[in-house]
């Protein structure tokens, strides 16, 4: 008991977490859009990079639908980390600093070790999801992977309703885990000299204290992501910067300033 208490006392204190109204995420989208308009070149460049990565994943795996699902789903699990440059753009705009594209690409250097540790954690979740996705495909389709065309036909016809339910439910569970872990943690690692564990604990606390608002925020992220996917990834050029900038404003709205404790 004494050892457990000592371990608890050794953990760094968490910053104060604010309660936000349920519809506050709409303001984060508005502010994210404003940041996109204030720095269109840098923002759209990041959006284009994200869209290109998705397209390349599709291009090289289009004959193996099971890999398309696993790789694309895994990519969106680590999307918050890839978007760190977008967080830095919003940070610079907020502080009245000029937006330097080159500087935003290395913004994570300020807290490199902890960002790397968080990346390892997200990579672990991504690998777990990829493995689960491949296992689910094997359970329903066996060793013969369907073509993309056949898979779409099967889904639209609800041919494998069991597969759709299991795959969607499993993917949602992994997405919720990543969302809770990264809701404010990566912007916090960028903004403060804190460790990855403190950032994760703060993110979990932020989600727990704002479940209705974070549910709305998660739904908005899902809608914007789907809009990007439905346009064969081209829409991601715009929607992902909005989500990235909005995530910075979510962090600023929920996590109190360091001076405020």
The pLDDT value given to residue 260: 52
Residues 59, 80: Cα–Cα separation, whole Å = 23
Residue 8, domain member (yes or no): no
Residue 11, domain member (yes or no): no
Domain limits for position 23? 17-254
- Bridge partners for 255 per DSSP: 17
Contact 238, 33 (CB under 8 A): no
pLDDT in tens, the chain (261 residues): 445 454 455 678 999 999 999 999 999 999 999 999 999 999 999 999 989 888 887 777 766 777 776 666 666 666 777 889 999 999 999 999 999 999 999 999 999 999 999 999 988 888 888 889 889 988 988 877 777 778 888 888 888 788 889 988 998 999 899 999 999 999 999 999 999 999 999 999 999 999 999 999 999 999 999 999 889 889 999 999 999 999 999 999 999 997 654
The pLDDT value given to residue 1: 47
Residue 2, domain member (yes or no): no
Residues 22, 253: Cα–Cα separation, whole Å = 13
Q: Which two tokens stand for residue 256?
A: 């109190």
First to last CA, the chain: 28
Instruction: Give the number of other Cβ atoms within 10 Å of residue 259's Cβ.
Output: 5
φ/ψ of residue 17, rounded to 5: -115, 125
The string over 147-178, giving b where at least 16 C-beta atoms fall within 10 Å of a residue's C-beta and e elsewhere, is: eeeebeebeeeeebeebeeebeebbeebbeeb
The pLDDT value given to residue 129: 87
The pLDDT value given to residue 66: 75
Residue 259, domain member (yes or no): no
SS3 for 176-239 is HHHHHHHCCHHHHHHHCCCCHHHHHHHHHHHHHHCHHHHHHHHHHHHHHHHHHHHCCCCCHHHH
Residue 185, domain member (yes or no): yes
Residue 260, domain member (yes or no): no
User: Does the model's pTM come out above 0.85?
Assistant: yes
The pLDDT value given to residue 126: 84
Q: Is 97 exposed, middle or buried (0-12, 13-18, 19+ CB in 10 A)?
A: exposed
The pLDDT value given to residue 7: 47
Residues 26, 4: Cα–Cα separation, whole Å = 42
The pLDDT value given to residue 82: 80
Residue 219, domain member (yes or no): yes
Residues 219, 245: Cα–Cα separation, whole Å = 16
Task: Count the domains in the chain.
Answer: 1
Contact 244, 190 (CB under 8 A): no
Residue 35, domain member (yes or no): yes
Residues 87, 190: Cα–Cα separation, whole Å = 8
Residues 186, 38: Cα–Cα separation, whole Å = 22
């Amino acid at each position: 008991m004494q050892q457990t208490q000592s371990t608890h006392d050794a953990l760094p204190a968490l910053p104060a977490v604010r309660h936000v109204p349920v519809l506050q995420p709409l303001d984060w989208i508005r502010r994210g859009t404003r940041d996109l308009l204030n720095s269109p070149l840098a923002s759209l460049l990041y959006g284009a990079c994200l869209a290109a990565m998705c397209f390349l994943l599709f291009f090289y795996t289009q004959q193996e639908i099971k890999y398309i699902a696993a790789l694309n789903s895994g990519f969106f699990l680590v999307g918050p980390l890839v978007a760190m440059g977008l967080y830095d753009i919003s940070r610079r705009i907020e502080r009245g600093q000029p937006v330097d594209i080159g500087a935003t690409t290395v913004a994570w250097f300020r807290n490199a070790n902890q960002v790397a540790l968080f990346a390892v954690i997200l990579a672990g979740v991504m690998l777990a999801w990829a493995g689960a996705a491949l296992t689910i495909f094997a359970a329903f389709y066996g060793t013969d992977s369907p073509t993309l065309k056949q898979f779409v036909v099967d889904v639209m016809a609800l041919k494998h309703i069991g597969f759709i339910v299991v795959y969607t439910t499993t993917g949602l569970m992994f997405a919720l885990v990543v969302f809770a872990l990264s809701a404010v943690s990566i912007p916090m690692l960028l903004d403060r000299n804190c460790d990855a564990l403190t950032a994760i604990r703060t993110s979990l606390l932020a989600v727990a204290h704002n479940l209705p608002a974070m549910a709305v925020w998660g739904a908005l992220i899902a809608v914007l992501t789907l809009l990007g996917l439905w346009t064969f990834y081209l829409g991601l050029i715009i929607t992902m910067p909005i989500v990235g900038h909005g995530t910075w404003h979510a962090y600023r709205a929920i996590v109190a300033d360091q001076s405020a404790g």
